[in-house]
Each structure stands twice: as C-alpha cells, then as structure tokens.
Amino acid sequence: MGRSGIAIVNCGLGNIGSVANALEWLQEPYFLADGVTDLNDASGIILPGVGAFSAAMQRLGDSGLLDELRNQIYGRHKPVLGICIGMQILARTSEEGGLHSGLGWLDASVVKLQPGDALRVPHVGWNNVSTVRPSRLFKGIDNGAHFYFDHSYRFVCDSSFVTSVCDYGGAFNASIESGNIFATQFHPEKSQRNGLKLLRNFGAICREYR
C-alpha cells in the first residue's frame, strides 16, 4: 500500500524542505518519496530543484525510482511538476559541467544562459513571468507576476510546449507544459504568494487526476 498525497521525489537534489514547507502551509497532503518504491497512490509528483545537473541525474539513477517514475508519468499519466533543475533534467541533454544526458522525456536541451556583457550570471532574484498561452498552473496569477529565479542554464524546446517566458538579456522559457508534465525554471516554493498560488493550482490538477 503506497503513500498518498503529492510525492516529493528527494533524490539528494538538495533542499526539498522549502517545497515541503509550502505544501504544508497550503495544507496539501504530501509525502517524501525517500526510500519509497511504490508511487501508485501518489496524486502527483514534484521533482524539486537544487543541484548540479549531472549530480541530480546520478542521484535519480541511484535512487531506484527511475522506473517507477516512468511508469507513473508515462504509464499512468500522473501530473508531475519539475522545478528548476527538476525541469532541466526532463530534457535530452545539458551543457552544464560538460555534455550530459537527461531523462529525455521532452524533446529539449539545456544550454548556458548568455544574457550579454552587462548582465551577470547566475540569473538570481525576482523577475517577471509573462504567460504566452493559458495554463491551469497560472490560474489566478497576474500576467507579469514576479517569481524567484536562480540559474545559469536555460531550457530550450519547441514553442508549443512553452507556457511562460521571462526576460534576461532576451526571452527564455520560464515554464513548460506537455500533457501531464509541468515544469518551471523559477522556484514557486520560494516565490511567496505567487508561488503558493501556483502550487495550489498544481494541487488542484493532482486532485482532478484522481
């Protein structure tokens, strides 16, 4: 009998505390997927985002959850939200720390953010997110709302997946959506009210799935 609620997949990617705190504040049932192999009763999955790409891929592989995640996300179409590095690992490849393979669940690649000389990297702080097509994840959130970013690489994919963009020396993809797969480059768990609203919306998406 598996645990129920939203599964936070902690593969040693770093701080899952902030995501857990946010869900607790929202009173959305969740559990940490540490040492869990059965995600059948999870209502949804969050892949939280601190860590270097190759370390994250390594640990996800070591966690033994990879097959179960594929099964839940591809087989059972469970909603999944990737955050920051959790978004980037969905791609086929990343340039961070050399060329590495990601999960390849989306036809995308991760490349270095090169905003131009006047702007520093990492892109760190609060920036405006502009929605480019309607998304259930942004329900009730103003267009141009501020979210917290902290990254040196960006997610490149076909525009049909892109739900919002952000400007830092040019536009880059701030969030994507493809069926039951959602992902944000920014950190909703660190973005105060806007972030809490987004996580509430993800909670609603997970409840609809059930």
Partner 1 sequence: MLKTRLIAVVVIKGEVAVQSYEFKRYLPIGDPRVVVDYLNRWGVDEIVLLDIDATRGSRRPNFELLKACAHLCHVPVAFGGGIASLDDVSAAIYSGADKVVINSAALRLPSVVSDGALRFGNQSIIAAIDARSCGQGRYEAFGHSGTIPAACSPTELAKKFEASGAGEVLVTSIDRDGSKRGYDLELVTQIQSAVSLPVIACGGVGHPTHFLDAARIRVSGLAAANFFNHSEHSVLVAKRYLSAAGASVRLDHDAEKDRDRFDELGRTDKKEDPYLDSLYIERFVEEVI
146 included as an active-site residue: no
187 included as an active-site residue: yes
Site residues (CB under 8 A) for partner 1? 14-15, 17-18, 21-22, 25-26, 50-52, 55, 85, 119-128, 145-146, 148-152, 167-168, 187, 189-197, 200
Other CB atoms within a 10 A radius of the CB of residue 83 amount to: 26
| CB 158 to partner 1: min, Å | 26
189 included as an active-site residue: yes
Q: Which of 11, 84, 157, 206 is catalytic?
A: 84
| CB 165 to partner 1: min, Å | 13
Q: Which of 100, 123, 151, 187 is catalytic?
A: 187
Q: Which is nearer to partner 1, 161 or 168 (CB)?
A: 168
CA distance 91 to 157: 9
Q: What is the 3-state secondary structure (H, E, C) of the chain?
A: CCCCEEEECCCCCCCCHHHHHHHHHHCCCEEECCCCCCCCCEEEEEECCCCCHHHHHHHHHHCCCHHHHHHHHHHCCCCEEEECHHHHCCCCEECCCCCEECCCCCCEEEEECCCCCCCCCCEEEEEEEEECCCCHHHCCCCCCEEEEEEECEEEEECHHHEEEEEECCCEEEEEEEECCEEEECCEHHHCHHHHHHHHHHHHHHHHHHC
Q: Which of 28, 96, 177, 189 is catalytic?
A: 189
| CB 8 to partner 1: min, Å | 13
Q: Which is nearer to partner 1, 48 or 79 (CB)?
A: 48
| CB 198 to partner 1: min, Å | 10
Q: Which is nearer to partner 1, 42 or 166 (CB)?
A: 166
Q: Which is nearer to partner 1, 86 or 161 (CB)?
A: 86
Active site residues: 84, 187, 189
